Amino acid sequence: MYLKGRFFINKRTEQDLRKAIDYFQQAIAKDPNDALAYTGLSDAYTALVFPLGSVAPGEAMPKAKEAALQALAIDNTLGEAHDSLAYETFFYEWNWSAAEREFKRAIELTPNNADAHHGYSHYLMAQHRIDESLAESKRALELSPIDLVINIHLGWHYLYARQYDQALEQLNKVVEMDSNFPQTYTWLGLVLEQQGKYPEAIAVFQRAMTLFPGGSTQAQAELAHTYAVSGKRIEALKIIADLQQVANRKYVPPYQVGAIYAGLGDKDQAFIWLEKAYQERSDWLVNLTADQRFDPLRADSRFADLRRRIGLPPS
């Protein structure tokens, strides 16, 4: 049951993550002292929030922490448990020193755990320790070379390091590995957008929306941002209206809506939505200073204030 749960986590859709949670809960029901099952449960809850944006952070992340702490209570020498806690501490609590301590402890205990290196790379990028982030990304890939998520992550690193040719090359490798893996296209679209290849980016985001079961508000918002920066203002505003309707029945990350407004040049609305993201402790805010979509806001004093409140270093 634990292994089945891990399988469904790596499929990275909300439907599959719900299946993973069910498998981990079944494993725990059969053996309440199975610390690994608790780490899987924690990781599944975290993945619903980042990168999918399918569930509000306040709904899933406390459950992720509870499961990680339970795993540590059973076995505090389990590297996977420290890794699970590190993700929650980093993405939700923004406790930077504690997060780094937990990532390092996870790597110390299980140096061949690719996901610990993967997570630590996210932390290092947020701290603008770009070379260290690349080293951790590459180490994760060495340890798990056929893992689609780990392969995507290297493309993610190159995107935020603003090395777009390398990002495109890496993500195209993932497409070759599995052309129907939806998460690849959300990042590939962002790379194409930064290269100014707007028609290609639009097509990629539209493909992502069809591949995610039930669609993807994240991909939809990223599509809207591409519309915005490519001069298709009416199309971007229509998606904002659509997302506000969707928000009546499912979670829509305010961070992504803020990005659309930044693309439209509406700084006041962008900051209103970023403040909403801050109030709900949006996981995506750890990427605020790396995310190119917010470049138009960087000179505004409100950006520096938000950055300081999150605890991010100057960009």
The per-type count for the chain, helices as H runs and strands as E runs, is 17, 0
Q: What is the pLDDT of residue 50?
A: 81
- Separation CA 118–CA 124 (nearest Å): 10
Contacts of residue 269, Cβ cutoff 8 Å, sequence gap at least 6: 258, 261
- Give, in degrees to the nearest 5, the angle at Cα 265 between 230 and 289: 95
Phi, psi (5° rounding) for residue 215?
85, -175
DSSP H or E segment with residue 286: none
pTM for the predicted model, two decimal places: 0.94
DSSP H or E segment with residue 142: helix 130-143
Contacts of residue 210, Cβ cutoff 8 Å, sequence gap at least 6: none
Q: Six-digit token pair at 250?
A: 């499912």
Burial status of residue 217 (CB atoms within 10 A of its CB: 0-12, 13-18, 19 or more): buried
CA distances from 245 to 239, 250, 277 (A): 10, 9, 18
- Separation CA 11–CA 17 (nearest Å): 8
CA distances from 231 to 15, 116, 199 (A): 35, 41, 12
Place of tokens 């939806």: 182
- Separation CA 270–CA 310 (nearest Å): 17
Contacts of residue 29, Cβ cutoff 8 Å, sequence gap at least 6: none
- Give, in degrees to the nearest 5, the angle at Cα 270 between 269 and 275: 95
Q: What is the pLDDT along the chain (315 residues), one digit of tens a residue?
A: 999 999 999 888 889 999 999 999 999 999 999 999 999 999 999 999 887 778 899 999 999 999 999 999 999 999 999 999 999 999 999 999 999 999 999 999 999 999 999 999 999 999 999 999 999 999 999 999 999 999 999 999 999 999 999 999 999 999 999 999 999 999 999 999 999 999 999 999 999 999 998 888 999 999 999 999 999 999 999 999 999 999 998 899 999 999 999 999 999 999 999 999 999 999 999 999 999 999 999 999 999 999 999 999 987
Q: Six-digit token pair at 146?
A: 């056929």
CB 211 within 8 A of CB 185: yes
pLDDT digits (tens, 9 = 90+) for 137-165: 999 999 999 999 999 999 999 999 999 99
pLDDT digits (tens, 9 = 90+) for 301-311: 999 999 999 99
